[in-house]
Every structure is written in C-alpha cells, then in structure tokens.
Amino acid sequence: MSETLGLFNYWMVVVLMMSGLYVVIAQHNLVKKLVGLSLFQTSIFVFYISMGKVDDGFVPIVTEGVSQYSNPLPHVLILTAIVVGVATLSVGLALAVRIRESYGSVEERDLDTADGVEPTEVGDA
Amino acid sequence: MTLAQQLPMIVVILPLLASPLCVIAGNGGRAKLLMLLVVWICTAISVQLLSQVVDSGPIDYQFGGWEPPWGIAYHLDLLSVFVLLLVCGISALVLSGGHKIPQEVTEDKVSYFCALILLALSGFFGIILTADAFNLFVFLEISSLASYALISMGKDRRALRAAFQYLIMGSIGASFILVGIGFLYMMTGTLNMQDMSERLPALTDTSTVRAGFAFFIVGIGLKLALFPLHFWLPNAYTFAPAIISALLAGTATKVAVYMLLRVTLGIFGINFALEQMPLDRLLLILGGSGVLFASMMAVMEDNVKRLLAYSSVAQLGYMAMALGLASAAGVTAAMLHLFNHALMKSALFLAIVPVVIHVGGFHLHHLRGLGRTMPWTMAAFSLAGLSLIGVPLTAGFVSKWYLLSSALEQHLWALVVLILIGSLMALIYMWKMLEEIYFKQPENPNAAAAEAPIQLLIPLWILVAANIYFGIDTDLTVGLAEQATQALLGAHP
Amino acid sequence: MNISLLMGLMIAVPLIAAVLVAFCGRNPNLRETISLAVGAVLLLVVLALGAADLSDSDNYLVLAEPFPGLELALSAEPLGVLFALVAGFLWPVTTLYAIGYMRAEKAKNQTRFYCAFAIAISATMGIAMSANMLTLFVFYELLTLSTYPLVTHQGHDDAKRAGRVYLGILLATSMLFMLPAMIWTWQLTGTLDFQPGGILTTELGVGTLSLLLLLYIFGTGKAALMPFHRWLPAAMVAPTPVSALLHAVAVVKAGVFTVLKIVIYLFGLETIKTLEVTHFLAYLAGFTILAASIVAMTRDNLKKRLAYSTVSQLGYVVMGALLGVATGVLGSSMHIVMHAFAKITLFFCAGAILVAVHKTDVSQLNGLGRRMPLTMAAFLIASLSIIGLPPMGGTWSKWLLLQGTLDSGLMVLTAVLLISSLLNLIYLLSIPVRAFFLAPTKPLTVPHTAPPTAAPATQQEPVVLGDEAPRNCLIAISITALACLILFFVPDLLFEHVGAIPL
C-alpha cells in the first residue's frame, strides 16, 4: 500500500503522459494535438520537480538548524525545459496559423482532402 | 586561457551569436555572407580541433572554469571531433553551393533563413561536443526547433504540414530523451556523461536504469528516423527547400546517429547496452527491416527528393544494423558509413537544387534530358549515385566492404544477403533516375534549363571528389573510425 | 626494362587517350588519329612487357591502399601478359575498324564512344595485370561501367532495355556473389594475392571451399555461364565495333580470364581437384556449351547468332579451367587467344555486311559472296578456326581441351566437345556457304544492292565485285583473319607464355 502511495507522483506522471500522448495521436485537430503535446511535456516537468524532493528535506535555501535540503538542481533544469516547451508550443502554433492561412482549416481530414486533390504531386500519405 | 583553448566553446557560441546578427544584417547579401563566414570559420576551427585531438589526445573544456559536477563541461574525443568536422565541412560546402542560387524562400525571408540555419548548426555542434546530458537535450531542442522552421519555409504548402508532423514527432522524441536523462540522474546523481558511465555499471540491475535506457533509445530512434519511427523524414526532406534537404541529409541524421553511439556506447557501455539489454537484436531487426522497406519505397517512388529521403532511411538502417552487431568491426563500419553516407547524400541532394530551381520540380520526369542541358551537375549526380550503390573506387564501396566484413565476421549470412540486396535495390532506384537523365528527351525542350552556376558546381564537385578520394585513400576515414571505436569501447572493457 | 613502369603505362596510356579524345572532340580527324596513335603506343608497351623477364624483382606496382594491408596493385604473370597481348593487339585494329564503321554509319556522339572505348581498354589492362583479387574486382566493375555507355550508344528504347539487362546481370552477380566471396576469403586467409598454387588450402574444409567456388564462378557474370548469360545477347544492340572488341574480346575474355585466375591462383589446381562442386560446375559449363550452340542455330539475326556462339565458346574456357588438370588450363588459356581472333573477325564481318548492304539476318545473305568476297572469305577462315579445323589457330586449343577432358576422366565432356564442334559446323559454316553458293534471293533486291536485271524499276546500282565495306574495315578484317591462320603455324609464341603459367 505504502509502495503504491509512495509512488503517487510517478503514477500521476504516467497518467498525464499517456493522456497527452493519446491526445496527440487521436485528435485530428492540429491545435488539439499541440495541447496534447503540452500535456505530455508537462508530465515530464512534474516528473523532474517531484524527483528533486528529498524525504524530510527542506527548501534548498540555507537556513539555520537545517541539514537536510531537497535537491534544487532538477528544478533548475526544468526551468530550462519549460522554456523549451514554450518555444516548441509557439513554433507549433505558428505553424498551425500558417496552415490555417494556406489551407483554411486545421482539421487533418480537410488538409488531406486539400492535398489529395492537388494536381501536381501525389503520394503524400 | 589563450584563445586556442577556448576553441571548443567558440565553435558553438559563434553561430549562436551570429544568428541574431543575421537578422539585423537584413535581407541583402550581408546575411548570407555572414552565415557563410561563420560556417567556414567553424570548419577551420574543427580542423584545428581535430589535429589537436589527434596529436595530444582528448580535450576537456570547462565552462567558466567550473569543475564538471557543478559546471558544464565539453569533452572532445576522436569521435566527436570527427563528426564535428564532418558536419562543419558538409554544411560549409552545401551552404556555399546554395549561396548564389536564387533562393527558394522569398526574398524578404532570407535573413531569417540564414539565422535559422546558424541556430540549427549551433545546436548540432553543441550536441556533438557536450559532455553534459541535460545540455545535450537543450542543444537538441535548439537544433530541432530551427529545423522545423527551416522545413516549413519550403514553397509548397505541404512543407507546413511536414514541419508540423516533424515537430510533433521530434518533440515527443526529445521529451523521451529528457525522461531518460531524468532516470539516469536519479540513479547516478550526476549529469556529466563521464561520471554517469563510471557509476552506471554498478546500477545496471535496477529497473530505473533500464527504463531510462529504453526512453533514451526510443527518443533517439525518433530523431534518427529509425524504422518504424521514420515517417516524418520523407515528408520533411521532400517539402523542405532543396538546399535545406541537402543540409539536413548530411548533418541532422548524422548527429542523431552520433547521439546513438554516444549514449549506447559512451554512457551505458557496450556490455550493458548491447549485451545485457536486447538492443543488439532490436537494432539488427529494425535496421534490417528499415533497409528492406525503405529501399522498396525508394524503388517505387517517383518523386526524386522523396526517393532520396527513403534511401536515407535505408542507409540509416545500415548504420543501426552495424551497431547492432555489437563488435568493434561493426561500430567502425557504422562510423565509416556515417561519414561516407553524409558525403554522398549531401552531394545527391545538392545536385537536385539546380533542378528544382531551373526545371521547376523534382519528379522523375523533371530529370528528363538533363544529361544534355546540365552535363556537369548530372555527371556529379551520377558519380555520387554510384557511390551510393557502392561501386569500387568510391566511398560507398569502402562502407560496404566494412559492413559486409563485420557481418561475415560473425557468420550472419542473413545480414550479408540483406546488405547485398539493399545495394542491389540502390542500383535499381539510382538507375531509374539515371535513365531519365540520359535516355529521355527533355519534356519541354523550349524551357531553358541551363547548367548550374559555377558557385554551385564547385562545392558539388568537391563533395564528389571527396566521395572518390575516400574510396581510394581510406587512411583518414578508416584510421579515425578505428581509433574512435577503440576509444569508445576501451572505456568499458 | 622496368616492368612496373610498363604496367603503369598500360593503365595510363588509354586513360590519357580518353582525355585527349575528349578534348579533341570537335575535330574528328585529330580525334581518330590520336586514338590510333595511342593504340599503337599501347601495343608497343604490351609487346615490351611480353618480351620482359617477369621474374624481375620490380614486378609489383602499388596503385593505392584502400584498406589496411590490402593494396590495389599490379603484377605481371604469364597468363595476364597473354591476355594483355591479345587485347593490346586488337585495340588498334578495332579502332581502325571503328573509324571506318562509325563514319560510314554517321553515328552520333562519336567522341563519347572513343572515350568510353579507351577507358574500357584501360580497365581490361588493369584486369590482366592485377596482382590480387581486389584489384581485379575494381577493374572488373570499372569495365562494366565504362562499357555501359557503349552498349547503349544508340540511345533508343531497345538500347536502354538491353543496357538494363547488361548492367543488371553484370553488376548484380559481381556484387551479390563475388564481393562477399572476396571479403570472406580475405577474412579466412588474410590475403587476396594471386599466388602460384593458390591461397585457399584444403584445411578450410570442403563446405567452405565449395561455397566459395560457387560464389566466385557465378560471381563472374562476364564468363556468361548459364543461367547468367542473358546480358551477352542483349549487348548486341551496341554498334558492331563494340560487340567486336568488347563482347568478343575484352569483356567476355575478362570474365573467363577471371575464372582462370581464380582457379589457378586463388584455389590452385590441387584444391580444385578435391572439390565435388567443381564437377558440377564443369558439367554446367558443358550444358552451357550445348544449349548455347543450339540456341545459336535458331537465331537468324547474325549478331545474335554470334553472341550465342560466344556464350558457347566461353563455356569451353570455363570448362577447361574446371577440369582440374594442367592440359585443361593450357587449353583454356589458348582458347582465350584463339577465340578472340576468330570471333572478332566474325563480328567485323557482320559489321562490314551491315555497313555495305544493310543486312542483319543470316537468311538475307544468300549470294553475298559475289559482292563481298574478301569479307566472306575472312568469315570462312574465322568460322573454321572456331570450329577447330586445321589449318586455323583454333585447332590447338580445341585439341588441348579435348585432351584435358580425357585426362580428367570426364568422358561426358569429351562427348560434349565433339557434339558442339558439329553444331558449330552447322550454325557457322552455313553462313559462308549461303553467301558463296546460293543465288541472291528476292529480298536482296532492295534498291541499294539490286542487280540491274532483277529489279530494273528501282534505283540502279550495278553489283561490283569488291563493292565492300569501307577500306579501314577491310584492313582490320584482313589482319585478324590472317592472324587466325598464322596462329596455326606459329603456336610457339603462345605456348611460350601458356607453358610458363605456374600450375
């Protein structure tokens, strides 16, 4: 029991990650895909943040009378990763906007139809 | 510290800093000039670094003088400088070739285009040199984000979709790598690759390390376009601007293969990665199926860029297979093929650039009769194609020889047959193009399809000459690959 | 005389010719003079090598070292010298012929033609002189690639299809079979050098050796052993001088030469003898001989018929090599030379007929002997040599091969040789017989050749005795036909070299 509960953060990470992945795969709307991707990445942020926690550890700020601190490094790392995630999301959204401009839709089915009737080239599965 | 000691840092920082300068420089010729200047300087530095490493062994560079557990360190051994030189050289040549060609992107985007290329290159160089696992992830994302944007700049609107697809797949891949790094950090308490590799052997029985390993492999597999995770690659290469296809074909996937080598052999070590874990069999099977499947697709494909892209997937399959042999000969063969394939594929893609621009398309029928109208470009294309097939006296033959030797060494007959069938299929799909080039009459004889400008021909022919030179004199390539293998495997006896 | 210098020249001279020809493309006279002159120079070089003492210490020239410990190197030995002599002698002759032929045909892209031709000869010389299997393989592939533009010279769809078959079979067999065999040998023995007595010893085990031999022999697609013979008839789409030099001399002979090299210098006769699979291959060669002869009889197209005849004659050489006895190898080596001279004459004649009267089929040749007596006489001489009747050079090689089959005790193959000679008699001799003894048939009365009495309405052009092909062609034909005759009387020239092969 304690094992299951003790790994609670990992369970959440897995649930979030899989939901995100599912959304990426199952949704045909490009914006929703990006939402899924963000969810997926967020699960990894949670994973990093929770892993820095040391049992009975204190906030990693030097304080009188505290000898046990949580590990601050993963938190620092994940700041970078969050920035990367934001950048990815913005590039993705920018692409979605451009796709919307040239195709008039962000639904994959519409895009497929649009490409399917394109006379010059075929074979874009 | 003298300037010479700062070179490992400069090679990464320079393109990174030059990138915003490109945007400032504006859309005239200045941005392009700045980009070329930076790339050639980086190439010169990488030559210098290679000679330093060959002369006096690996270089350790610490950012700001901080010792590794606290600061970020770069570690330059033979493998990394070898790949660095390859990536620098290829991009310098390819970009010089694209320099004077009327750009495929609209004129007002040229400065962004150059800036993005520099960002991507900076990311590649960082991946190659860094000794810090998290740093690897950051550089990976820098290069990837730049690549997505570059691919989306293709003229065809499907370039946008290809870029989007690549973005989704690439981000998932990078996230997997991030999870892998997290697991390893949990177990080893360090992000420095050398420290990791020292601490890991004691921990290999834990499921955490195994899970981390699996995340790493899937993530890199996505970036590497390892069959069956390759679906983004043909689209991306097809719709990207031609010069970007040439650039990425010679660099991006090669850097991914480098990551695979670095992570499996450098961090986890050959014993764990290829013997305890079933990665060897996995790579053999996936690599093998990749060779067969992608070659088949290439044989059936009518779109020249997509055909070459599938061929790349097949060639990456060779490298994966060679690594899967889990032997020194196999690793050497993988490295050799990494080098040689970069030479031939970037030459092939570069030769397609003037076709796209002058003839206006990249289907088989666009190649018709070009043997007459663009004799020099097409001669280069043919020679690079022969190298891809693996005809003697070309670099491709040397790769093939080592691949076959390493497979024969372990009496893996099925693999030998597979490699041979793969090269036979390469013959078929190359010949399909060559027949169009030399036997057909031009589709529209009135369209003025002129010879490519000399600025493109020179780098193109340098690449072709390299293909032939490294097919005859292999001291440099084979020698370096063997030494690098020893260094890599020697760390984990 | 410095042997390594000579060997280097043999490779370099034709390559220089190729470059010069490429630069003089605008001026046909200059271009062709260069081709001829360089051909003569090459002949001199080869002759000098033929006279040189091969035991000289500098008989080794390293070109490059692509793999650690494995060089691209040249080294002369008697069999190679013999092959080089044949090719070196026939190149200028064929060039002479080609000049006449290509001009008469007003062929396009002649510069490319002469260029590729010269590169092909360079590759042939490389094959002849190669010191190890890798070198041979490299030049072998180079020969395939450099002859591809020649085979597809006409550029039409037929040529393209034929080119596919040609390249497909030759490259596929060498890549699929010969390359792995070579790498395997390298791993087993650590060398690929051609050494007297062979490098593959019986210690390696019968299974391994048998598999290697199969891979090597089938890997040599140029030897046209069935079932990998289709490329040869396909290649007949090429202009006749190409068929003559390449598909009667350089390419096919490179194939059987490779087989001989492999048998003698990689395996060694002692090892070959012990392998069961050798007999299988020898019988397969026997089958090739008969089957190709029978197919040849059914072909009406003259060049196709000659092509199948070549397939059959190559079978002789392969069979002789695989008999595992000294006389077989001697016979095979001799047959390379004899067949080269005879077959090139036959192809020259076929080309001359095409140029002079635009006939390609055997059935159209009735009565042609009256118009082209010289050509048809040469055809007769060459046919006799191929059949192996005295007083033609072919007698000697056939004789030795027969003796070889007797020595090896494979009587079935003796019978094969005899039957095949009969078949040769039928499909080859019928051609001069038609030409000399039958009256011209109706189809011959097409405008260009019509006798005035037969078709008065059409364009008049009287039949003139000796209204033959261009003079250059005739000179070439006479030289090679005479050679067939001379070789019967002075076979010592050849025996001297053949006898020196270390078995």
CA angle (B478 as vertex; B472, B481 as ends), nearest 5: 155
- Contacts of the segment C359-362: beta carbons below 8 A, 24+ positions apart: C359/C302, C360/C301, C360/C302, C360/C303, C361/C300, C361/C301, C361/C302, C362/C299, C362/C300, C362/C301, C362/C302, C362/C305, C362/C430, C362/C431, C362/C434
- Contacts of the segment C493-496: beta carbons below 8 A, 24+ positions apart: C494/C82, C494/C334, C494/C337, C494/C396, C495/C334
A65 vs B: CB within 8 A? no
- CB-based contact C142 B393, cutoff 8 Å: yes
The helix (run of H) or strand (run of E) holding residue B389 is helix B375-389
Residue C429 structure tokens: 């001799």
- CB-based contact B172 A103, cutoff 8 Å: no
User: Please, which residues bridge with residue B62 across strands?
Assistant: B73
How many interchain CB pairs under 8 A, B with C?
64
- CB-based contact C187 B472, cutoff 8 Å: no
Helix (H, G, I), strand (E, B) or coil at B402: helix
φ and ψ of C58, to 5 deg: -95, 25
Cα B123 to Cα A92: distance, rounded to the nearest angstrom: 19
Q: What is the mean pLDDT of residues C223-234?
A: 85
Q: Which among B171, B185, B301 is the nearest to A88, CB-wise?
A: B171
Neighbours, chain B (3 or more CB pairs < 8 A): A, C
Tens of pLDDT along chain B (493 residues) come to: 577 778 888 888 899 998 888 888 877 778 888 888 999 999 999 998 888 888 888 888 888 777 777 778 888 888 888 899 999 999 999 888 876 555 567 777 888 888 899 999 999 999 999 888 888 999 999 999 999 999 988 888 888 989 999 999 999 999 999 999 988 888 888 888 888 888 888 887 888 888 888 898 999 999 888 888 888 888 888 888 888 888 898 898 899 999 998 888 888 887 777 777 788 888 889 999 999 999 999 999 888 889 999 999 999 999 999 988 888 888 889 999 999 999 999 999 988 888 887 777 788 888 887 877 888 888 899 999 999 998 888 888 999 899 998 988 888 888 889 999 999 999 999 988 888 888 877 766 555 557 778 888 888 899 999 988 988 888 888 888 888 888 888 754 3
Helix (H, G, I), strand (E, B) or coil at C72: strand
Cα A8 to Cα B481: distance, rounded to the nearest angstrom: 47
Q: What is the mean pLDDT of residues A36-61?
A: 84
Alpha carbon of B89: minimum distance to chain A alpha carbons (Å): 29
Interface of B with C (CB under 8 A): 386, 389-393, 398, 400-401, 404-405, 408-409, 416, 420-421, 423-424, 427, 431, 435, 439, 471-475, 478
Class of CATH domain A2-53+70-114: mainly alpha
- CB-based contact A98 B158, cutoff 8 Å: no
pLDDT for res C467: 63
- CB-based contact C175 B424, cutoff 8 Å: yes
C179, C211, C237: which to substitute to probe chain B, counting the most B Cβ within 10 Å? C179
A9, A70, A91, A112: which to substitute to probe chain B, counting the most B Cβ within 10 Å? A91
Q: For chain C, what is the mean pLDDT? A: 83
pLDDT for res B101: 55
- CB-based contact A92 B149, cutoff 8 Å: no
The ipTM of this complex is 0.87
Alpha carbon of A65: minimum distance to chain B alpha carbons (Å): 25
Which residues of chain B does A98 touch, with a Cβ-Cβ cutoff of 8 Å? 152, 160
Which residues of chain B does A95 touch, with a Cβ-Cβ cutoff of 8 Å? 148, 152, 160, 163-164, 167
In terms of Cα–Cα distance, which of B389, B394, B393, B415 is closest to B404? B415
pLDDT for res C391: 81
B134 vs A: CB within 8 A? yes
Helix extents (H) in C358-410: 368-371, 373-387, 394-408
Residue B332 structure tokens: 């050497």
B-contacting residues in A 72-101 (Cβ below 8 Å): 73-74, 77, 80-81, 84, 87-88, 91-92, 95-96, 98-99
User: Please, which residues bridge with residue C132 across strands?
Assistant: C193
Residue of chain B minimizing CA distance to A84: B141
Which residues of chain C does B478 touch, with a Cβ-Cβ cutoff of 8 Å? 67-68
pLDDT for res C70: 84
| Residues whose CB is less than 8 angstroms from the CB of residue B5 and which lie 6 or more positions away in sequence, other chains included | B61
B132, B139, B168: which to substitute to probe chain A, counting the most A Cβ within 10 Å? B168
pTM for this predicted structure: 0.88
